[in-house]
Chain A
Amino acid sequence: MKKAGNKSMNLKNLKRNLNINLDSWLFTSLILSFFLLAPIVTLFTSLATQNIDTFIHIAKTLLPEYIRNSLIITLFTGLFTMGIGVSTAWILTMYDFKFSKFFNVGLILPLAIPSYIAGYVYSGIFSYTGIISKTARNLFGYNLNLDIMNIQGVIFIFTFFLYPYVFIIARSFFLKQSLSMLESAKVLGKSDTQTFFLVVLPLARTAVVGGVTLVIMEVLSAFGLPSYFGVQTFSTGIFRTWLTLGDTDAAINLAIILMGLIFTIIFIERKSRGRKQYSFTNTKIRPINKKSLSTKHSIIAIIVCIVPILFGFIIPLMQLISWSFMTYKDVINYKFIEVIWNTFSIAMVGAVLATVMAVIISNTSRLKKGKISKTLSKLTTIGYSIPGAVIAIGVMTFFIFVDRKVLGQKVFYGTLFLMVFAYIIRYLAVAYNSVESGFDKVGMKFHEASKTLGYGKTKTFFKVDFPMIKGSIIGAVILTFLEIIKELPLTLILRPFNFETLSTYAKQYADDEMVQHSAIPSIVLILIGIIIILFFERINKKKEK
């Protein structure tokens, strides 16, 4: 009797809890998460264990080279970007010198140039007919044999075009540091240099490692640059196995190994933070008064800051502009307009859809206090750490399965839908972070106030939350748009036949030994990037003020 009573009470409780917890936001969020995670899960379940002759052959012959090259590039790019990013951020935080305001913006600009475009430009500059060899020949009669298309060249380009990731994070960290901390070190008899190495750098460790991790992810995901320079890495290996050898299973196996490598890096980075505290929660922060530098030291500071801008932005942009004047008559035509339209429309559709999904998942995650929604939101944004080529293979494998086994006919394969779907998986995190920061800023009080006034979750979202986080939502669309237009490997694998975007168009010209012709599509991409970067830098400045 007592048992039956308990059972009925549990059932009533369960019914009550379901009523409280289940709503359209959670339901939609669960469905979205299922579809966004399905391709990644499919990839894991597709790990081939039989008929793996090609994979065994690759593992014996090519895999060691993929691993060695990927590790060398990752290690040196990580070290060099750390050096440039941290030193420039420190100089600009601590010292006042001529042009420092310009350097604060200028040092971010290399982010507007995708590494594969930088690869086309520098290969042109260093080629036999490039400006350096030509000048040496014509002015000095000297035959220079410069070759940048090797692993050192890849490291050089990654370094000068990815260091802004470290610079931005380190600068933001240094700006928030406490003056009291630096003064304490000084009182204890430490010089500027000793303070930097003994106090500042250990404290900035988490931020710097975070920036370097972003660089490493970009390096491991990159396909265009290593492929163009003929350096075999994991990403190029996946392409080669998929497209040249035509072995899907082996490509999937390689993709899984790469994903494992990336997750290990993320895991080590998280674990390495340990229990140490690297923030200043216990110290009241006083802003730093910048020191003025002597003329000699100013010149050194200017050189340290100008070199990365010169190699990472000014030289490639000048070269691209010069090539544009040479080739615009051949490049600007109806086809080019179509390519611009393709790029803008597909990127806008992808960015808007990714943002809508980010809003749904992020809002569910903040409203539900349970672990399920939090875990789902983390899982659905995992795509950003997975290389585009791997996501493309996962999406393709999943939709081939849907077409063959569920629908019984070719519906999705080879359509633009696949591309947009893959963009969303890859860049949902970009939109999500922007939307989430908007929600964090407004907090829960307005939402709760609206509910006490009789509005449900959906009405509250449209009447209260949306108007208040509109800026973050627009930001999410813009940032995701920028990421999508630059994306190359994913687009290359999933684009329908004859469908070109600016990035594939530029690559096509470069592959066809017409590197000068790739300048105009590249410049369009870079200009969009510059506008967006300057726009956000301005907004951040306003926020800091």
Chain B
Amino acid sequence: MSYINSKKLFFKYKNSVEDVLKDVNFNANKGEITAIIGESGSGKSTLLRILAGLEVPQNGELTINDKVLIDEETFIPVEKRGIGMVFQDYALFPHLSVEKNILFGMNKMKKDLAQKRTCEVLDLVSMKEFIKRYPHELSGGQQQRIALARALAPKPGVILLDEPFSNLDANLQGKIRNELKTILKTSGETAVFVSHDKDDLEIADRVVILYMGEVIQTGTPMEIFENPKNEYVKQILGI
């Protein structure tokens, strides 16, 4: 049984004629990194937002670790899901220091434990010396690491990343990609990220390819590269 399990997720924006997601079935295994790949408008960010609880699908089911988050009579709101998320532009609170940004999600933890955990995650992302800085005093790559540390701090079980490399310089992307993989694997969290860039597949254990709101192929990066299902997949992979 997969750790994240979704069945027949259907989503459409109000006042829109297009269906964004059409009966999407999506699974992710525990401790793995899953990449959702597709061109813009394929519905990949919407799927991630539904997993987070930021959008409400009209139909479908979602369970994480066997806990029902969405079905026809249940909808667990985002703040009660215990899912960590790294936003495309990081969304670090500008009025809070690095330390307070990370402590933010641990308000239910004892103060000394929360402080200890802050040091742990900062250590994990190699940013301990930046603890007193404010977000605007950090570079793009540093902000991304702090956003990751903030999402990991409450030990969420699942971590979602929205286009994690799109805001970084091309020459920095490769380095950060490898660092991210190491951090996620060290933390042992189940991770799902969305991307439109085939280069990002190298850190994924599993890949889901979306096209116009439908899943058209899933598998390991190797399986997909070796047996692309159609022209669209070939195009996405640059084959």
The residue in chain A whose Cβ has the minimal distance to the Cβ of B153 is A453
A382-420, CB < 8 A from B: none
A452 touching B73 in the complex, CB below 8 Å, given contacts A370-B14, A445-B87, A468-B94: no
A449/B79 in contact, CB under 8 A? no
Alpha-carbon distance between A454 and B81 when the two chains are bound, in angstroms:
8
Interface size on B, residues (CB 8 A): 32
B91/A16 in contact, CB under 8 A? no
B45-65, CB < 8 A from A: 52-54, 56
B79/A456 in contact, CB under 8 A? yes
B104 / chain A contacts, CB cutoff of 8 Å: 450, 453, 463
B107 / chain A contacts, CB cutoff of 8 Å: 454-455
B211 within 8 A of A: no
B91/A453 in contact, CB under 8 A? no
B79/A446 in contact, CB under 8 A? no
A20/B52 in contact, CB under 8 A? no
Alpha-carbon distance between A19 and B53 when the two chains are bound, in angstroms:
14
Alpha-carbon distance between A376 and B31 when the two chains are bound, in angstroms:
46
B105 within 8 A of A: yes
A16/B95 in contact, CB under 8 A? no
Alpha-carbon distance between A370 and B15 when the two chains are bound, in angstroms:
10
A9 / chain B contacts, CB cutoff of 8 Å: 72
A451/B54 in contact, CB under 8 A? yes
Determine chain B's interface SS by DSSP, over half rule.
Answer: loop
Binary contact readout B86-105 vs A (1 if CB under 8 angstroms, 0 otherwise): 01010111110000000011
A454 touching B91 in the complex, CB below 8 Å, given contacts A9-B72, A16-B73, A370-B14: no
Interface centre among B94, B95, B108 (most CB of A within 10 A): B95
B140 / chain A contacts, CB cutoff of 8 Å: none
A15 touching B73 in the complex, CB below 8 Å, given contacts A449-B87, A452-B83, A468-B94: yes
B93/A464 in contact, CB under 8 A? yes
Interface centre among A9, A12, A13, A16 (most CB of B within 10 A): A16
A271 within 8 A of B: no
Binary contact readout A370-387 vs B (1 if CB under 8 angstroms, 0 otherwise): 100000000000000000
A369/B14 in contact, CB under 8 A? yes
A370 / chain B contacts, CB cutoff of 8 Å: 14
A1-60, CB < 8 A from B: 9, 12-13, 15-16, 19-20
The residue in chain A whose Cβ has the minimal distance to the Cβ of B95 is A467
A448 within 8 A of B: yes
Checking A16, A445, A454, A468 against B79 with a beta-carbon cut-off of 8 angstroms, the contacting residue is A454
A12 touching B73 in the complex, CB below 8 Å, given contacts A20-B56, A453-B150, A468-B95: yes
A451 / chain B contacts, CB cutoff of 8 Å: 53-54, 77-79
A448/B73 in contact, CB under 8 A? no
B85/A449 in contact, CB under 8 A? yes
A454/B85 in contact, CB under 8 A? no
A448 touching B54 in the complex, CB below 8 Å, given contacts A456-B79, A468-B94: yes
B74 / chain A contacts, CB cutoff of 8 Å: 16
A16 touching B75 in the complex, CB below 8 Å, given contacts A451-B54, A454-B105: yes
B151 within 8 A of A: yes
B82 within 8 A of A: yes
What is the minimal beta-carbon distance from B75 to any residue of chain A, in angstroms? 5
Checking A12, A452, A455 against B85 with a beta-carbon cut-off of 8 angstroms, the contacting residue is A452
Checking B84, B93, B95 against A452 with a beta-carbon cut-off of 8 angstroms, the contacting residue is B84
Alpha-carbon distance between A464 and B150 when the two chains are bound, in angstroms:
15
B154 within 8 A of A: yes
Checking A15, A16, A449 against B93 with a beta-carbon cut-off of 8 angstroms, the contacting residue is A449
The residue in chain A whose Cβ has the minimal distance to the Cβ of B49 is A448
B81 / chain A contacts, CB cutoff of 8 Å: 452
A445/B14 in contact, CB under 8 A? no
A456 / chain B contacts, CB cutoff of 8 Å: 77, 79
Binary contact readout A461-475 vs B (1 if CB under 8 angstroms, 0 otherwise): 001100110000000
What is the minimal beta-carbon distance from B51 to any residue of chain A, in angstroms? 11
A453/B105 in contact, CB under 8 A? yes
Checking A452, A467, A468 against B52 with a beta-carbon cut-off of 8 angstroms, the contacting residue is A452
B73 / chain A contacts, CB cutoff of 8 Å: 12-13, 15-16
B54 / chain A contacts, CB cutoff of 8 Å: 448, 451-452
A454 touching B108 in the complex, CB below 8 Å, given contacts A9-B72, A16-B74, A449-B85: yes
Alpha-carbon distance between A15 and B77 when the two chains are bound, in angstroms:
14
What is the minimal beta-carbon distance from A257 to any residue of chain B, in angstroms? 36
What is the minimal beta-carbon distance from B153 to any residue of chain A, in angstroms? 9
Alpha-carbon distance between A455 and B107 when the two chains are bound, in angstroms:
9
The residue in chain B whose Cβ has the minimal distance to the Cβ of A9 is B72
Binary contact readout B7-18 vs A (1 if CB under 8 angstroms, 0 otherwise): 000000010000
A479-525, CB < 8 A from B: none
Binary contact readout A207-240 vs B (1 if CB under 8 angstroms, 0 otherwise): 0000000000000000000000000000000000
B104-149, CB < 8 A from A: 104-105, 107-108
B75/A19 in contact, CB under 8 A? yes
A448 touching B91 in the complex, CB below 8 Å, given contacts A370-B14, A453-B154: yes
The residue in chain A whose Cβ has the minimal distance to the Cβ of B78 is A451
Alpha-carbon distance between A20 and B154 when the two chains are bound, in angstroms:
25
Alpha-carbon distance between A445 and B154 when the two chains are bound, in angstroms:
19
A19 / chain B contacts, CB cutoff of 8 Å: 75
Alpha-carbon distance between A12 and B75 when the two chains are bound, in angstroms:
11
What is the minimal beta-carbon distance from B183 to any residue of chain A, in angstroms? 18
The residue in chain A whose Cβ has the minimal distance to the Cβ of B82 is A454
The residue in chain B whose Cβ has the minimal distance to the Cβ of A466 is B95
B80 / chain A contacts, CB cutoff of 8 Å: 454
What is the minimal beta-carbon distance from A7 to any residue of chain B, in angstroms? 13
A453 / chain B contacts, CB cutoff of 8 Å: 79, 84, 104-105, 150-151, 154
A15 / chain B contacts, CB cutoff of 8 Å: 73
B84 / chain A contacts, CB cutoff of 8 Å: 452-453
B78 / chain A contacts, CB cutoff of 8 Å: 448, 451-452
A16 touching B72 in the complex, CB below 8 Å, given contacts A452-B78, A454-B79, A464-B93: yes
Alpha-carbon distance between A233 and B238 when the two chains are bound, in angstroms:
73
The residue in chain A whose Cβ has the minimal distance to the Cβ of B58 is A13
Interface centre among A13, A20, A450, A452 (most CB of B within 10 A): A452
A16 / chain B contacts, CB cutoff of 8 Å: 72-75
Alpha-carbon distance between A450 and B95 when the two chains are bound, in angstroms:
13
Interface centre among A369, A451, A467, A468 (most CB of B within 10 A): A451
Alpha-carbon distance between A12 and B104 when the two chains are bound, in angstroms:
35
Apart from A16-B72, A446-B93, A454-B105, list 11 A-B contacts with CB within 8 A: A16-B75, A445-B89, A449-B91, A449-B93, A451-B78, A453-B150, A453-B151, A454-B80, A454-B154, A455-B79, A463-B104
List 6 A–B pairs whose Cβ atoms lie within 8 Å, in order of A's numbering.
A445-B87, A445-B91, A448-B85, A449-B87, A449-B93, A467-B95
- Top 4 A-B pairs, shortest CB-CB distance: A453-B105, A449-B91, A12-B73, A452-B85
